[in-house]
Structure 1
């Protein structure tokens, strides 16, 4: 057995548990053939680690195609990083080459290797294990029509995730050097039964069992609550099915009179990650792993990389198609590199899709028109990614979340003309280098406001949009509403979760556009491109900033 083959077996198979198929083994031997012996072990170890981070961890039988993808990604990453270092060196020595933009030989196609789009139906599911105090990945494939027990399990998972986050907050952590009573303690509802009347702090889900009465529920019990009278409220929209921290008085009538009501305490993304490490990949897609610093270097220095985010692209309206042409003309004529991606979000018709058949061909023709339009801009069609996310009025299954991508029947021409067109679910996730982006299209402002059971806190400096954003981030969920207001496939409830919080949350809505920064997460609504002002937004990942724009 050759030296390289021996090392491959020792490192990939014995150390990392990977078994290479014959073609994969031959390919890897060719890759490392010219390496000095002193670099061989380190290189093979890095390839194995990269494979386990980028591929399904259960895929222990390695084929050539998946291995080649990993190796090419390593080469690309190394070349880009070297080009950046050369540009920095040239700039610091007074050279003319500036850092940023498309440096040297780096192209948008190279950068696109760090763009990964994750469908809701392939999002990994992690469950909190209170006994082990860690998250464990569930490899059981969810079912679209899950059994009734899946609903209770979804709520239990949400409760456990929020509670472990809350208990990490300093306000809930007792210290050896502080007096008793200097921290908050959560009492389970079941334990209230053995207590005399008094003040308690509860964590539970707002629900209703009897008409006209509200209850608070945790995994162990249920109690009637009174929300009348003066209540000190935190920022947020308090709807049924939201989890809340409620402080109040437990009475002899076994009723809990709420005096203070707040959302579960939030936590920054960095604190969540530091608790479990980057190896717990909640988001999906490849893990950054040991390449975190390299990816951050690429991310920060590629200042020409942009995402164009457009919602309510009403393709049945000639005025919208005309303005869409103007938008593509603008990004095609600029001297900068083409956008890395156009994120085109529904609804794709100005009227709801009717399933009786009258919208069957018109809807398909809308996408045919778009395919021909984009094809007129050769540089964009060949370079940029076009990511399509359906809206609530698009086919099929618009009433239940998450909803699948637009059926292929309607998009045959655009798929043939645009090989880089990507049709995703709603919601979906995008990973670019180290950044995580969540895209969600729903009229969530109206739904949450209509579902509030107590009026939000009336602060002059707290807008409705901030109340909404605080609710979703604090709940760590895109749509914490009852099934009657927004049905959910319970087996895929984890695809709606926001934990840890993403870098960018796109809440595409027919509500007016906004940008809100909350606990380190940037939350935006790009506005309606089908509206009077043809609004959209441009995201700059290098600076994590958004630019509100419109077509005049």
Structure 2
């Protein structure tokens, strides 16, 4: 038997490992107890490299500083009620966050265990709460801080490894879990005054040079550094960003948390049928929560008491709030009056019905009138408000449609609607919970509620970078004097449908570009951007029919456009050209044949637009400051898409669709409603606001009359005086913005990709909407603070040699302009 003896460990080696052991509850040994002149066996076995030159037999070991040991902290049991005032001051007052009871319990347990008895006197708890709130906003956790969320547990776990002696370690070790080197950390010093200030929980001025924590939330997505407000930044086009529909963040409204959550799953163009239901549920929940925020649907205990005490008075009747009844709750309530919120649908039998998340019921609108009268369209696929009476048919119970009565099915009987209306729109400032968003107030402040911390576009949230971006905008675009002529740099030129297969379209384009082209390349004299929309062909390309020449002629059309653009090098080097496709453009029109294509749709392929890109590259090759990235560019975007200028300060939606004609074809005929006459061209009216008069409203159109108010009956005499073009524009704008959705139709009428419905939402309301509709008259309308512009077609119908476009001054209003060529 062979006995293998294990090598004997050197006692010197054991002694060397002793001081390296870490015990959290045991302080490190005193210096004079540390062993002296320790060296390992490996070091002792190394022979001298050159004995003849007096090289030491044993090389000198480099000095290694001992690892910092954690100071001992005696844990305490900290009640959540004791920590509540400090947590409220840090999370709610300073960071506009709401703590739940579970989150307060988690924070109290964490602070009591890691800060000990010095959590109040030394200000340790304040630093921990500040760091937790900052990391919570960096993770986009939402307004409500929940103790059961994995984000809070992950933050506390990372913070636990970076604490020593109740303080947050500023560098070295495991500091990688924290994103800032000087975040909320006061280093110990020998200065008596500084130590006294630290014990009192005060922060010495000048030690921590950082802005409010709100300014750091959402900044990473924009790439904004501290040098953004330097005087060297003079080009506003640097802050212009085109957001494609397929790149826009996707959000879904969580009813339980009453907050928007980002969808992290990978989208698909061919998802399961379950995603269609999710798309409808999300759209319904967004409108429902928006409706409950309206004052007409909010109940008050004081108002209810007054109404109960004086039910016969007329004043109490006007103060009653509306209440939405789920369709499933109509069962057994025959003859009762209710208000329903649901989507207009068509049943397999051909009957019109209304459906919500609980069920469906047949709808009878033979006696219904619109509120306000003839102010909006109503088509299947829209989510509307219907006020009426439920009528239960006893003889039909168990037969036909009522056989599937119950939650989730079609309820027996019918709902007799007397009034129908659109869900009222909500202003952008109310949605984001921030005032002063329209340029009237320099100091933006919170007015309560809202979704200001949500980064809907991926460019930074409103409350995080909104005020800073507006200061930058006022320095780069806004003139110091109100009487000074505005610069061309703050304008966006919007061109309507450009049919390249019509030779006169290129002549009109050349004339319009010549009005804005200048001899030199000064950025102050050229517009910020040009928006050119399709259809770039009158017929669906690549279908070999209806005059279509296929892909070869389609490529030649864009080559002719490149030749026209090359004649204006000053615009190609200083402006951004954005091209939005239509339904007849490639490649999607190859299988649609000119019919409605699914939205959103991808841009025109680069195969056809390569000549235009080379034209921009040739024009920008000679500029001196090309390395700074200030040259012009051509961007081929999706339909719809968004323009973001100065982050969330300006959101401009670009959408190309003949939605007016589709509304006329699919609308529901109501009682006393006359058929709409054919669309007429608008000649004289250029700027229309939502008011009783043509010139109502202020410069921003913000104070225009709210036409969706059902409390004031419409005046027939005033509607007869309003031109049809103006009335049609108001009707179209109100319908689209009240729905908060760019395609409020059935899937068979206007299909939408189920996983890409987020780019179709108009919530929060954008600052401007470019709706290119050739079946509607050209207009510029402001409704609820959103400026809607329709340039129509670049060629004016009925006028020979006339071109039309819209000149939009960012943050203000647009004007419909015409010229001859």
Query: Cα–Cα, structure 1 residues 367 and 237, in superposed 2: closer, same or farther, change >3 Å?
Result: same
Q: Does 1:413 align with 2:413?
A: no
Q: Hey, what does 1:520 align to over in structure 2? A: 785
Q: Hey, what does 2:333 align to over in structure 1? A: 195
Q: Hey, what does 2:643 align to over in structure 1? A: 430
Query: Cα–Cα, structure 1 residues 11 and 369, in superposed 2: closer, same or farther, change >3 Å?
Result: farther
1:530 is aligned, of 795, 799, 804, to 795
Residue 11 of structure 1 contacts residue 41 of structure 1 at CA under 8 Å; is this kept in 2?
A: no
Residue 244 of structure 2 contacts residue 641 of structure 2 at CA under 8 Å; is this kept in 1?
A: yes
Cα distance in 2 for residues equivalent to 1:279 and 1:209? 41
Residue 476 of structure 1 contacts residue 499 of structure 1 at CA under 8 Å; is this kept in 2?
A: yes
2:570 is aligned, of 379, 385, 405, to 379
Query: Cα–Cα, structure 1 residues 184 and 16, in superposed 2: closer, same or farther, change >3 Å?
Result: farther
Q: How does 1:343-492 map to 2 (within 5 A)?
A: 343-356=531-544, 358-398=549-589, 399-419=597-617, 420-433=633-646, 434-455=649-670, 460=719, 461=722, 463-492=727-756
Residue 117 of structure 1 contacts residue 285 of structure 1 at CA under 8 Å; is this kept in 2?
A: no
Q: Hey, what does 1:124 align to over in structure 2? A: 249
Q: Hey, what does 2:32 align to over in structure 1? A: none
Q: Hey, what does 1:29 align to over in structure 2? A: none
SS in 2 for 1:178: helix
Residue 282 of structure 1 contacts residue 499 of structure 1 at CA under 8 Å; is this kept in 2?
A: no
Which segment is superposed worse, 490-499 or 391-400? 391-400
Per-residue displacement from partner, 1:492-514 (whole Å, max 9, x unpaired)?
12211100111111110113201
Query: Cα–Cα, structure 1 residues 231 and 45, in superposed 2: closer, same or farther, change >3 Å?
Result: closer
Residue 50 (structure 1) shift: 5.6
Per-residue displacement from partner, 1:46-98 (whole Å, max 9, x unpaired)?
996464342xxxxxxxxxxxxxx543xx42x3125xxxxxxxxxxxxxxxxxx
Per-residue displacement from partner, 1:204-245 (whole Å, max 9, x unpaired)?
100011344111100110101101124343331000010011
Residue 264 (structure 1) shift: 1.0
Residue 215 of structure 2 contacts residue 464 of structure 2 at CA under 8 Å; is this kept in 1?
A: no
Residue 217 of structure 2 contacts residue 461 of structure 2 at CA under 8 Å; is this kept in 1?
A: no
Q: How does 1:286-325 map to 2 (within 5 A)?
A: 286-300=460-474, 302=477, 303-304=486-487, 305-325=490-510
Cα distance in 1 for residues equivalent to 2:763 and 2:390? 32
Per-residue displacement from partner, 1:286-321 (whole Å, max 9, x unpaired)?
435443223223434514211010011122222221
Residue 353 of structure 1 contacts residue 359 of structure 1 at CA under 8 Å; is this kept in 2?
A: yes
Residue 536 of structure 1 contacts residue 549 of structure 1 at CA under 8 Å; is this kept in 2?
A: yes
SS in 2 for 1:205: strand
Cα distance in 2 for residues equivalent to 1:417 and 1:262? 51
SS in 2 for 1:155: helix
Per-residue displacement from partner, 1:161-184 (whole Å, max 9, x unpaired)?
000000011111111211267211
Q: Hey, what does 1:79 align to over in structure 2? A: 230
Cα distance in 2 for residues equivalent to 1:123 and 1:465? 29
Per-residue displacement from partner, 1:12-48 (whole Å, max 9, x unpaired)?
9444499xxxxxxxxxxxxxxxxxx947752797996
Query: Cα–Cα, structure 1 residues 265 and 51, in superposed 2: closer, same or farther, change >3 Å?
Result: closer
Cα distance in 2 for residues equivalent to 1:193 and 1:46? 49
Bigger radius of gyration among the two: 2
Residue 437 of structure 1 contacts residue 502 of structure 1 at CA under 8 Å; is this kept in 2?
A: yes
Structure 2: state its 5+ residue gaps: 1-64, 66-168, 182-204, 308-319, 394-412, 434-448, 478-485, 590-596, 618-632, 675-715
Per-residue displacement from partner, 1:316-348 (whole Å, max 9, x unpaired)?
222221221121211113885211111111111
Which segment is superposed worse, 153-162 or 186-195? 186-195
Q: Hey, what does 2:816 align to over in structure 1? A: 548
**Which structure features the higher share of strand residues?**
1
Residue 9 (structure 1) shift: 7.4
Cα distance in 2 for residues equivalent to 1:507 and 1:8? 53
Q: Hey, what does 1:242 align to over in structure 2? A: 382
Cα distance in 1 for residues equivalent to 2:452 and 2:571? 34
Q: Hey, what does 1:272 align to over in structure 2? A: 431
SS in 1 for 2:329: helix
Residue 155 (structure 1) shift: 0.8
Which segment is superposed worse, 116-125 or 161-170? 116-125
Q: Hey, what does 2:92 align to over in structure 1? A: none
Cα distance in 1 for residues equivalent to 2:218 and 2:383? 38
SS in 2 for 1:370: helix
Q: State the aligned residue count.
A: 486
Q: Hey, what does 2:689 align to over in structure 1? A: none
Query: Cα–Cα, structure 1 residues 385 and 160, in superposed 2: closer, same or farther, change >3 Å?
Result: same
Per-residue displacement from partner, 1:239-292 (whole Å, max 9, x unpaired)?
001001111011122210000101112111111111334221223434354432
Residue 453 of structure 2 contacts residue 464 of structure 2 at CA under 8 Å; is this kept in 1?
A: no
Residue 437 (structure 1) shift: 0.5
Query: Cα–Cα, structure 1 residues 463 and 13, in superposed 2: closer, same or farther, change >3 Å?
Result: farther
Cα distance in 1 for residues equivalent to 2:321 and 2:300? 8
Query: Cα–Cα, structure 1 residues 232 and 351, in superposed 2: closer, same or farther, change >3 Å?
Result: closer
Q: Hey, what does 1:146 align to over in structure 2? A: 271
Residue 498 of structure 2 contacts residue 505 of structure 2 at CA under 8 Å; is this kept in 1?
A: yes
Q: Hey, what does 2:351 align to over in structure 1? A: 213
Residue 217 of structure 2 contacts residue 460 of structure 2 at CA under 8 Å; is this kept in 1?
A: no
Cα distance in 2 for residues equivalent to 1:402 and 1:51? 28
- Return the structure number with greater relative CO, CA threshold 8 A, min gap 6: 1
Which segment is superposed worse, 314-323 or 448-457? 448-457
Residue 306 of structure 1 contacts residue 540 of structure 1 at CA under 8 Å; is this kept in 2?
A: yes
Q: CA RMSD in A?
A: 2.7
TM-score (norm 2): 0.56
Q: Does 1:258 align with 2:258?
A: no
Residue 327 of structure 2 contacts residue 361 of structure 2 at CA under 8 Å; is this kept in 1?
A: yes
Residue 468 (structure 1) shift: 1.4
Query: Cα–Cα, structure 1 residues 47 and 261, in superposed 2: closer, same or farther, change >3 Å?
Result: closer
Q: Hey, what does 2:304 align to over in structure 1? A: 179
Cα distance in 2 for residues equivalent to 1:406 and 1:417? 17
Cα distance in 1 for residues equivalent to 2:424 and 2:180? 40
Query: Cα–Cα, structure 1 residues 150 and 17, in superposed 2: closer, same or farther, change >3 Å?
Result: farther
Residue 11 of structure 1 contacts residue 45 of structure 1 at CA under 8 Å; is this kept in 2?
A: no
Cα distance in 2 for residues equivalent to 1:11 and 1:520? 49
Residue 492 of structure 2 contacts residue 807 of structure 2 at CA under 8 Å; is this kept in 1?
A: yes
SS in 1 for 2:769: strand
Cα distance in 2 for residues equivalent to 1:454 and 1:285? 43
Cα distance in 1 for residues equivalent to 2:328 and 2:273? 24
Residue 8 (structure 1) shift: 7.6
Residue 198 of structure 1 contacts residue 250 of structure 1 at CA under 8 Å; is this kept in 2?
A: yes
SS in 1 for 2:376: coil
Query: Cα–Cα, structure 1 residues 14 and 478, in superposed 2: closer, same or farther, change >3 Å?
Result: same
TM-score (norm 1): 0.82
Cα distance in 1 for residues equivalent to 2:564 and 2:172? 52
Q: Hey, what does 2:455 align to over in structure 1? A: 281
Q: Hey, what does 1:164 align to over in structure 2? A: 289
